[in-house]
Chains A and B, each alone.
Chain A
Amino acid sequence: MSDIAASNLAETKSGLAGLVDDWSTDKQTYHVPWGKAMMWVFLVSDTFIFTCFLVGYMTVRMSTAEPWPVPAEVFALSFFGGDPIPLILIAIMTFILITSSGTMALAVNYGYRKDKRMAAILMMVTAAFGASFVGMQAFEWTKLITEGVRPWGNPWGAPQFGSVFFMVTGFHGLHVTAGVIYLSIVARKVAKGHYDKKGFEIVEITGLYWHFVDLVWVFIFAFFYLW
């Protein structure tokens, strides 16, 4: 397949002229493995789902006549009896997700160098960071539920706060969990040599999903936690 793509690419132009070239005449439009094209289609549709959640949050927050709880206070955490540090756990979770994105990018790179051992190890490291992220989220949920946050109310202000929190972070956490499972399965197959002949595009495809999960968190962090 990549041979066909290569021979086509050699004759085609790049940029907008390339766009016209790729779409004209009866031939393959996207010069990428089909799995990668399908992963992108899935990610674009997932973008719509997450945007619906975030736009729903925006509408709910704009339309409530009650004061919104202050996220910096709600998500503050104190260590060893010190003063509560605002948003500290969320900041740590953000850094963990970025770190995992970095190890994933390196895994893709090692995959294309056909260094399957390093690729599998880095994917497992990524999955481990993802699992620790989910663990911290479980801690956060437990803490808020103990403090009385429910989808229909909370002790501090607008009752919509709880429903938005559980829906948005829950759906994102579900994606991280699925990503951890997906990464573990692919890493095991990579290590066992299942892709030695087929090529290591699968590592990049898995990586696309993982980077997308990190990307969604960037928006959740900005709009829900910092706003």
Chain B
Amino acid sequence: MVDSQTSQPSNPVIEVRKLRKEFGVLKALDGISFNLERGEFLSVFGPNGAGKTTLIKILSGLTRPSSGTARVAGFEVEGGHPEMRREIGVISHSTALYGDLTPLENLIFFGKMYGLGRLKELALTALEDVGLAPRRHDPVRTFSRGMIQRLSIARAILHDPSILFLDEPFTGLDIQASNVLKENLITLHNKKRTILMTTHDVSCGLEMCDKVALQVMGRFAFFEDVEGINKDKFEEMYFDAVRDKQFAMGIRHS
């Protein structure tokens, strides 16, 4: 297992120490440790069932860890401090949007929940940013998967969070929608947002991130800066991991 604490960042925005989560006998997370500094983009790859979603749920305060600690934006994640929740935006497998409401109504509702001002203006700008302004009065249930995913991004960044957790955001998107999403994420990265994204899309994940992790059986089997990583070798390693979850017991570096 890789101990990613070896290169200690000066002021980590996300600080995870020996994080464990057990569901009965199943270990979803098995002692993960890592740091992320402000503005860094971490792509986490891993086979299904590796514990990637659990990691995001714990970091966003939705689930309590069994042991270990995690601090996000300076707050302990356990208990989900309201100020911490104000600093994060989450895009998960589910859209977290109301199908019977229009995009504008959805964003206005979530904006009210965050206590934001000048809501209509803010919501319209967010819709323009993700290219959905022309459809702002249509019910969300009539949208394609790609449009819904873009709206999910608008919802997640409406309150201008400094940290984003994205759980497989490219799932089910066609090439055009993927490209739009990618552009949105690159813009957010350029704006110094700290991003943690789980994905199965190696090219996309490696292209955008600063750091790469490979999570297998609840552990980070690989955690490195993206610079110097050979894409082909990493891809091979990832496919090995998917093929053989026992990979978690070994340590690989590119």
The yes or no verdict on A and B being binding partners is no
Residues of B at under 8 Å CB distance from A? none
